[in-house]
Amino acid sequence: MAAKAICASIVRNMPLDQGGCGVPVLVEGIKDERALRDLGFKGAIERINKGWDTSRLVAYLHSEYGDARAMDGGAPIILLMDWDRTGGKLQSLIRERLMAMDVTVDEGLRNSLLKAMKPEGRTVESLSPYSEALAPMIDSFLDDIL
Alpha-carbon torsion 9, 10, 11, 17, what sign?
positive
* Whole-number pLDDT of residue 1: 60
Q: Find out if CATH 3.20.20.70 is the number for domain 2-139.
A: no
* Whole-number pLDDT of residue 35: 94
* Whole-number pLDDT of residue 121: 76
Return d(Cα 30, Cα 16) in angstroms, integer: 24
> Which helix (H) or strand (E) element contains residue 45?
strand 45-47
* Whole-number pLDDT of residue 110: 93
128 with 34: CB under 8 angstroms? yes
Instruction: Sketch the domain layout of the chain as residue ranges.
Output: 2-139
* Whole-number pLDDT of residue 52: 92
Q: Which residues does the chain have with pLDDT short of 70?
A: 1, 69, 119-120, 145-146
